[in-house]
Structures are given as structure tokens and as C-alpha cells.
A and B are shown apart, each in its own frame.
Chain A
């Protein structure tokens, strides 16, 4: 296979072909590492996979996936910045303050990392995704019993949403080096979610006994029309059908409660697997989308 001749031929029929590949530079860097440990004989197979990626689903490039991740991180970063500037935080214990500081530090690091990655791939990073000040003002307690009016209650919703959101886009980074980074952020968000839940006296995992179990964070679907263009300027995949809800007990067609050679409760079955959300669901007005703004 003459790889370069093939690209030339593609350029003749598709003037944007080089742009497509440029935006997928990460795929090529992934190929570099793959090639090192793979026999040359297997290379045509890898190239086939890359062509499939470059031309499949033009609504979503790796840069757009990173922009989406950056949006979520900016949103969380601004939320925790508002928490740290509040009188409620000032009145919290030193231990609780330290927990919030640790989490905020990670969101700062994620923002910096994603900005750098997007810039490195030739994109212009999303500038801001602020948490609505008017909504924040209704969070009258640091860690009160009502999740909807407590800063930590909303923090739990944001972290659990983040965990679902990263899961929803990982498949688009299949086989790329960017996937590993996304997964490394994803599990940190899950650690944050676990800690916030412990601070609130909730179980570390999503379960039917949560006080916020009925919140849209733990269900799925959208409440309004969807678009493949976000208010932040980048594209997202078209919304198809509602994602599984967090109380899902069937994974990969396997009924977890009854089909595993032992009987498990629906609570254990649901808690054993976190669920994903599509971008359109995360950005829906009922979830993060309704909380972003000036």
C-alpha cells in the first residue's frame, strides 16, 4: 500500500482531506506508538481504522471532544471558585475547606491540561462556562440537608454528571492516546463524587437511596429540542435516544440481578455500574446546560 499516494488521491476528491487528518493528529501520534509494538504486516489494518475514523461522523473531531471536556471543567472550576469566595465556605471546617481546595485544584489542572491539548491540536479553547450567579445565590448552606439549596448538594450533581459525561464521549476517542488522558480525568471526577457524597452522608456510589435520586442527573433524555451545534461554538454528536438511567440493571444485554448465577438486589446491580450521558443530555436545560450562564 502506497500511503502517500493514497492521500494524494483523496486530496483530489476531497479538498479538506488534509484538514481532516490535521484535526486528528492524535490518531497519528497513537499510530506512532502502536507501530512500535506492532509488526509491519499489521499496518494496513491500522490505516484502515484511521480512515474509518477520519470519515466517520463528521460532527465530532477529537478537538471537539476536548472542547466539550474543557467546557465541563470550566463549569466546575467556576462553581468551586464561587464556593471558595462564599461566606458559607468561610464558615466550614478546615477539613471540609481542604477537601474543596483539593477538588478545585484538580479542576484548575484539568482546565490547563485541556486548554494546552486543544491549542496543540490547532483549536481555540472555549473561553468560559460560568455557573449562573443567580442560581448560586440560592445555595444558602454549605452542607445543609436539602441538596438543592446546599453547595455540596450541587457539587454532588456536578461531579456525578461529570463522571457520566466523560463516559459518554470516551468511545469517540477509541484507540487514541487522548483516551487515556480522558480516562485519567474521569476516575478523578469519580473520586471527587465519592468524597462529596461522603461529606453529605450519602453512599459513595449512585444508588436508589440517594436524596437526589430523582434529579435529572440520574435519569436521562432531553427536555427540549437538540442541536449538533453547542452555544460554545463546537459540534456534538446528534442526540439519538435516551441513555440508560442510573438505576439500570441490564448491562450488555445481561440481566445483572438474575442472570449471573446468583441473585443480586436491584440496588447492588445498579450501583455496580455507573452510566453514561450523551453530550446533548448533559447540555440539556434540565442538567448542566440550565446552570451555565452569567
Chain B
């Protein structure tokens, strides 16, 4: 795993160690295993917020297929906001082609976000999840490594989220849409992984001994993503 996180080439000399450490720790939580990571982040959330955030302020993503769509909408909001900021304030040490790449990905994720907004508004009037406020304070957008590592986290998490949500979907048409998006997220994931370390596009432990990608349930995904979202989200009823 540590190979994924090593800076490459010229980055060794320009790399900011104080930044690297917290990023690496967070990534460890993401990849040590869904349950371990989720538990750690949930616990962190509790210790930080239990005194200040009453339970009643938690936003439910809803039930049934609309819940699944709002769940996807929440994740796409997060990704779209992240890439928009990556493009608006590019890392000073981006390598050739990386800004152009992120500009295209920013468009893909904005399209995914806006598509879900349009689809939910059309199919379930009044059920659309509110606009979320991202919390990117842990990300140093001026540093390539911070951006790439966070991008990998979001893309791998997105793939695991769609893979896990498939079984919760009851409408075939929504399953097809989810399938059409998840493979694009997987393409993104494989790209950022290759920028961080060669031949990690589908390496262990992201892919297991059966050749399977990760699949995570909504509560575990939201627990992992919660650190990047100001509002408290409740995914416990998604798909039910």
C-alpha cells in the first residue's frame, strides 16, 4: 500500500512532509478495510461532534430507490465540488497533462451531479437532497500529491459505493444508469492510481484474490465520506 502513496520523480524534492503525513493516515483508514475505516471515522466524528451537533440536524438520504439516487447525488456533489476546486486552483506541481485531465474529469462529475439532480427532480418531486457544503480543509489543493491522493480516495470510494448499491436498486432503468456511471468512475480511479504509482490500476488490496473490486454499503461509504461533508448524513434507510 505504501507504494501507492510514494511521491514519484521530481516530487521527492518538492514534497511537503507535514502535509503528507495526515493524508497518508487518512488514506490508511480508507484502505485498511471498509469496516475498520468506517469505524475509525465514525468514532472520530462522534468525539468531535457529539457535543455540538444534535441528532435532529442529521439529514436522511431517504428510502427506496429515491434514497439510492440521493445517495449517489450526495457522492457526486462531493466529487464535483472537489474537481471544480482542483481546476480553479491547480496544484503548482502538476505534471504535464494532469490539469487537462482533471478539467475533463471535473466536467464528467459535474454532469453526473446535475444528471442526478434532474432525474430526482423529475421522478421524485420534492425528494431532492439539498445542496451539500463540502469540507476540504484537510486537502492542500496547491500540492499535486494531496490532490491525486484525495482523487484516488474519492474515485475508489465511488466505485465501491455504486457496486454496493446495485443490489438495493429496485428499478432496472436506475441500475443501468448506475452501471453506466460506475465504469467511468473506475476508469478515473485507474488513471489517478497510475499517476501515483505505476501498475496500481487494479492492484491488491483494492482488488481481492477473486479479482473483485470493492463493494460497500451506504452507511459505510457515508461514514468514510462524512469527513468531507459539513452536513451530517444518514444513509441507514437508503434502498429500504
Set A98, A195, A276: member contacting B190, Cβ < 8 A = A195
Of A180, A194, A265, most B-chain CB atoms within 10 Å: A194
Q: A7 on the interface (CB 8 Å rule)? A: no
Set A110, A174, A205, A256: member contacting B111, Cβ < 8 A = A256
Q: Tell me the residues in window 152-209 of chain A with beta carbons closer than 8 Å to chain B beta carbons.
A: 163, 166-167, 170-171, 174-177, 179-181, 183-195, 197-198, 203-205
Query: In the bound complex, how far is the Cα of B53 from the Cα of A113, in angstroms?
Result: 46
Q: Mark B174-195, 1 if CB is under 8 A from A, else 0.
A: 0111011111111111110010
Q: Mark B135-172, 1 if CB is under 8 A from A, else 0.
A: 00000000000000000000000010011101101101
Of B172, B180, B211, B240, most A-chain CB atoms within 10 Å: B211
Report chain B residues within 8 Å CB of A198: 190-191, 194, 201
Q: Is the CB of B180 within 8 A of A194?
A: no
Set B111, B176, B190: member contacting A204, Cβ < 8 A = B190
Q: A109 on the interface (CB 8 Å rule)? A: yes
Query: In the bound complex, how far is the Cα of B190 from the Cα of A18, in angstroms?
Result: 44
| Minimum CB–CB distance for B173 against chain A, Å | 7
Q: Tell me the residues in window 102-127 of chain B with beta carbons closer than 8 Å to chain A beta carbons.
A: 104, 107-108, 110-112, 114-115, 117-119
Q: Is the CB of A205 within 8 A of B184?
A: yes
**Range for the number of chain B residues in contact with chain A:** 35 or more
Query: In the bound complex, how far is the Cα of B211 from the Cα of A135, in angstroms?
Result: 28
Report chain A residues within 8 Å CB of B185: 187
| Minimum CB–CB distance for B56 against chain A, Å | 25
Q: Is the CB of B201 within 8 A of A183?
A: no
Report chain B residues within 8 Å CB of A110: 210-211
Report chain A residues within 8 Å CB of B108: 205, 268, 271-272
Q: Is the CB of B104 within 8 A of A268?
A: yes
Set B111, B115, B194, B211: member contacting A185, Cβ < 8 A = B211
Report chain B residues within 8 Å CB of A260: 111, 114-115, 117-118
Report chain B residues within 8 Å CB of A113: 210-212
Query: In the bound complex, how far is the Cα of B163 from the Cα of A174, in angstroms?
Result: 13
Q: Tell me the residues in window 263-282 of chain A with beta carbons closer than 8 Å to chain B beta carbons.
A: 264-265, 268-269, 271-276
Report chain B residues within 8 Å CB of A273: 177, 180-181, 184
Query: In the bound complex, how far is the Cα of B108 from the Cα of A265, in angstroms?
Result: 10
Q: A106 on the interface (CB 8 Å rule)? A: yes
| Minimum CB–CB distance for B154 against chain A, Å | 15
Q: Which residue of A lies closest to B100 (CB)?
A: A203
Query: In the bound complex, how far is the Cα of B162 from the Cα of A174, in angstroms?
Result: 14
Q: Tell me the residues in window 10-61 of chain A with beta carbons closer than 8 Å to chain B beta carbons.
A: 30, 37-38
Known: A98-B199, A171-B172, A260-B115. Is A195-B180 also a contact (CB below 8 A)?
A: no
Known: A170-B175, A194-B190, A252-B177. Is A109-B209 also a contact (CB below 8 A)?
A: yes
**What is the interface of chain A mostly: helix, strand, loop, or mixed?**
helix
| Minimum CB–CB distance for A173 against chain B, Å | 9
Q: Which residue of A lies closest to B169 (CB)?
A: A174
Q: A107 on the interface (CB 8 Å rule)? A: yes
Q: A241 on the interface (CB 8 Å rule)? A: no
Q: A254 on the interface (CB 8 Å rule)? A: yes
Known: A37-B240, A183-B215, A194-B190. Is A256-B115 also a contact (CB below 8 A)?
A: yes
Query: In the bound complex, how far is the Cα of B184 from the Cα of A275, in angstroms?
Result: 10
| Minimum CB–CB distance for B146 against chain A, Å | 21
Q: Which residue of B lies closest to A49 (CB)?
A: B170
Query: In the bound complex, how far is the Cα of B111 from the Cα of A264, in angstroms?
Result: 8
Set B112, B117, B199, B209: member contacting A272, Cβ < 8 A = B112
Q: Is the CB of B186 within 8 A of A176?
A: no
Q: Is the CB of B213 within 8 A of A170?
A: no
Q: Tell me the residues in window 240-294 of chain A with beta carbons closer than 8 Å to chain B beta carbons.
A: 251-252, 254, 256, 259-262, 264-265, 268-269, 271-276
Query: In the bound complex, how far is the Cα of B201 from the Cα of A197, in angstroms?
Result: 12
Q: Is the CB of B182 within 8 A of A187?
A: yes
Q: Is the CB of B107 within 8 A of A191?
A: no
Beyond the given pairs A102-B201, A268-B108, 10 more chain A to chain B contacts, judged by CB atoms under 8 angstroms and listed by A's residue number, are A170-B176, A183-B163, A184-B163, A186-B179, A186-B182, A187-B163, A195-B194, A198-B191, A259-B118, A262-B114
Q: Which residues of B are interface residues toward A (Cβ below 8 A)?
A: 104, 107-108, 110-112, 114-115, 117-119, 159, 162-164, 166-167, 169-170, 172-173, 175-177, 179-191, 194, 198-199, 201-203, 207, 209-215, 240
